[in-house]
Amino acid sequence: MKNASESEPMTQSTMIDPFGRTIDYLRVSVTDRCDFRCVYCMAEDMTFLPKRDLLSLEELDRLCTVFIEKGVRRLRLTGGEPLVRKNIMHLVRQISRHLKSGALDELTLTSNGSQLERFAGELADCGVKRINVSIDTLDPDKFHAITRWGRLEKVMRGIEAAEEAGLKIKLNTVALKGFNEDEIPDMLRWAHGRGMDMTVIETMPMGEIDADRTDQYLPLSLLRAQLERQFTLKDIPFKTGGPARYVEVAETGGKLGFITPMTHNFCESCNRVRITCTGMLYMCLGQDDSADLRAALRASEGNELLAEAINNAIARKPKGHDFVIDRRTSRPSVSRHMSVTGG
């Protein structure tokens, strides 16, 4: 049997969901583990999956390859923190062959930045051209408070290493009421001053945490109104393949994205599905329906059962999610943490 890296040249098909949306974007969580414990994402005392439950790197490569054969053109590695997965660069190198063949348009990564100083150069060598770095404040003390375990100076060294490697960086910032809303204008100026775009994100009701999300939730419609007191924001049609809606900031010349799953969901144009590190396929971030691809992956050396399981899952992709944050709804909309599903 040939392994995934020795397979024949692929012919691509197209995945269409029940609502006519082309599914061409795959997000793959390679681990649920993270070296931070961000207060809106995880409880401090997290119980992570046993390592034996995780797909091997070879299985992840095989799974990604089948999705690429079925029409995925963009692939993002997520976590947890993807760069804490042991030997993660082996997987990146394997997947990068699809960039060289032209079957994959883009391989990207979402990171907290803590390991970028170590891996940025190798990521660039593998054909990764841009990454997202999640950072919610530029104040070292507040950064340590929000991440519980993180150190801002280490992330900054990682960003510098990524810049030196030629990686295009976009900052992802979760807007949190009473924590960073007053800091976002300065973060925007800082990011655009370094040639980095920025996206702000509403906090999402996923997983049990040690806080009340109604105390954290900041509608981005309110944040945008606040920003427009200082900046001229012009809506633009720019897209990266994800759910952000972008504006151009006249005063800085940079782009600012808004991801608004709560106030203005982006479901009508959803082109993506997510795989967990255990091989569960989630057709929607905000729904619990899933498909067990690990079972199909391990049931046969061929990929026919896996392809059939993927087809059946895409046929169940829902029209949209049901996220709710309010005082009457104390439990999260979905029980799994974001780190399990992947960003």
3-state secondary structure 293-335: HHHHHHHCCCCHHHHHHHHHHHCCCCCCCCCCCECCECCCCEC
Least confident of 137-146, 186-195, 256-265: 256-265
Here the CATH number for the domain that contains residue 85 is: 3.20.20.70
Residue range 172-179: average pLDDT? 93
277 is in an annotated binding site: no
The span from the CA of 196 to the CA of 189, in Å, is: 10
270 is in an annotated binding site: yes
224 is in an annotated binding site: no
Q: What's residue 269's pLDDT?
A: 76
Least Cα distance to 260 among 244, 276, 246 occurs for 244
61-70 pLDDT, tens digit each: 999 999 999 9
Least Cα distance to 127 among 78, 165, 88 occurs for 165
218-264 pLDDT, tens digit each: 899 999 999 999 999 999 999 887 788 999 999 999 999 999 865 55
Residue range 206-215: average pLDDT? 52
273 is in an annotated binding site: yes
Report how far apart, in Å, the C-alpha atoms of 141 and of each of 112, 145, 151, 152, 342 are. Answer: 17, 6, 9, 8, 27
Least Cα distance to 30 among 115, 130, 118, 143 occurs for 115
126 is in an annotated binding site: no
Residue range 162-175: average pLDDT? 97
Q: Look at the chain and report how many structural domains it folds into.
A: 1
Q: What's residue 340's pLDDT?
A: 53
77-92 pLDDT, tens digit each: 999 999 999 999 999 9
203 is in an annotated binding site: no
- Mean pLDDT for the chain overall: 88
114 is in an annotated binding site: no
Least Cα distance to 60 among 272, 279, 313 occurs for 279
The span from the CA of 238 to the CA of 252, in Å, is: 17
27 is in an annotated binding site: yes
Q: What's residue 45's pLDDT?
A: 83
Structure tokens, 249 = 């900031």
Residue range 44-69: average pLDDT? 93
Range of the domain at 96: 4-341
For the cut 60, the answer to whether the pLDDT of residue 343 exceeds it is: no
14 is in an annotated binding site: no
Q: What's residue 330's pLDDT?
A: 47
Least confident of 179-183, 184-188, 230-234, 329-333: 329-333
21 is in an annotated binding site: no
